[in-house]
Chain A
Amino acid sequence: MIADIVFILMLMTGTFFVITAAWGLVKFPDIYTRLHAVSKASTFGFAFIVLAVAFRMGTGTDITKAVTAVVFQFVTTPIAAHMIARVAIQRGIKPLGQNREVIDFPETGFAPEDEHEKKEARTN
């Protein structure tokens, strides 16, 4: 009984965090803030859901596989997020904010492309 309640609470927490990550990915205005939303919250929700399922299933092999998947995801999601952010900086995508003109981008040979201005130009 207690195990059922804990299982359902963990599933609810994980689903809540996954929905929060997706909603942040839709709602946030900038590529860096979108990375911030999606790389933390979705990993947290994933860990909750997979560990809940593993402890519900119960055998040692399943728990080992689930813990391996969660540890792998916790290691690799920041790497992917940092690589995407580095590509964005190399491409010259400026973050939104007050001091966005002050930020010094490295010389990479790409023409600087601005996401926000491009979207405004598309809608106009």
Chain B
Amino acid sequence: MDLLPFPFPHIFFTGLLLALTLLLYRVVRGPHVLDRIMAADSITLVIICLMGIWQVTVGTSFFFDAILALSVVGFIGTIALAKYLERGGLIH
């Protein structure tokens, strides 16, 4: 299996994992719940980027469906948590 269609994918994996570590620090240490919510939203985004680079590395293209679905799920999760914390609840 041709695992390296482009040179040095490890640089991008390392960079995105560094970003993931920083976001996990904010999730664990966040002073408020809203910090944790937006860090989790960004974690979804970074995981999508990792899936994209990973599918180029392997050589398939069936992760685009997962990218589309995961972006929708991340947005809906953020909106649901924000509406849960908002005054008045889901129905005003």
Contact = CB atoms under 8 A, between A and B. Distances in A.
B53 A59 contact: no
A66 B86 CA distance: 32
Interface range on chain A (Cβ under 8 Å from partner) = 35 or more
A86 B38 CA distance: 13
Contacts, number: 152
Interface of A is mostly: helix
B72 A72 contact: yes
A19 B19 contact: yes
Contacts of A81: 38
B23 to A, nearest CB: 5
B53 A65 contact: no
Given A57-B56, A69-B67, A18 B46 contact: yes
Contacts of A119: 31
Nearest to A11: B12
B68 interface: yes
Interface in A93-121: 93, 108-110, 113, 115, 118-119
B38 A50 contact: no
A22 to B, nearest CB: 4
B67 A66 contact: yes
Interface of B: 6-7, 11-12, 15-16, 18-20, 22-23, 25-26, 31-32, 34-35, 37-39, 41-42, 45-46, 48-49, 52-53, 55-56, 61, 64-65, 67-68, 71-72, 75, 78-79, 82-83, 85-87
Given A42-B46, A65-B67, 6 more contacts: A11-B12, A15-B12, A25-B22, A72-B68, A87-B82, A113-B32
